[in-house]
Amino acid sequence: MGLEVSNSNTTQIQSKSDEPSLEETSNEKFNINDTSKSDSEKRDDGDFEVDEDPSMDPQKSKQIQSFYFPKYPIFKDPELELKVKEAEKLVEERNEARLEIESKISFKADDLTEIIFNLRPLVSEENLYRGFLNESWWQKDASVQKTCKVSSAED
């Protein structure tokens, strides 16, 4: 069969009719219909050919791999170096300022813990004192107790 293109100077190519088409090829070419045993099953000695894995060989597995990283000279730009130095100074100044603030905060936190430590016994003493005052006050004035009960009932 040929292919023709109008107004072209190409040559026509004809397919060979003696070649079988893909559908005509037999399964024998691919050994699909062969039900006989494979080569490994036909052997009588039971040895199989196995490719050796290099990771199984102790000498090959202990081999050291080395990598080389070539160094290239850095392009030095004086303007860029000045900017980098300024940025490093700025970072250093900000780190110092941050450390000062952190130290002040730690001093304040230490002062706060000391105040809380000293305040706890005072709070417990105040609660005891108020408890004694409330008991004595309620015992002395019975009329006050009645007025308090009446006012609390109205609420």
Each residue's pLDDT tens digit, 78-132: 888 899 999 999 999 999 999 999 999 999 999 999 999 999 889 888 888 888 8
pLDDT over threshold 60, residue 42: no
pLDDT over threshold 90, residue 73: no
pLDDT at 87: 96
Angstrom distance (rounded) from CA 90 to CA 82:
12
Distances (CA, A) of 91 to 84, 95, 99, 100: 10, 6, 12, 14
> Which amino acid, residue 88?
E
Least confident piece of the model among 17-21, 85-89, 92-96, 133-137: 17-21
pLDDT at 91: 97
Token match 């002062």: residue?
A: 111
Angstrom distance (rounded) from CA 111 to CA 27:
94
Angstrom distance (rounded) from CA 143 to CA 122:
33
Percent of the chain with pLDDT over 90: 19
Q: pLDDT-based confidence at 13, cuts 50/70/90?
A: low
Query: Where are the domains positioned within the chain?
Result: 78-148
pLDDT at 96: 96
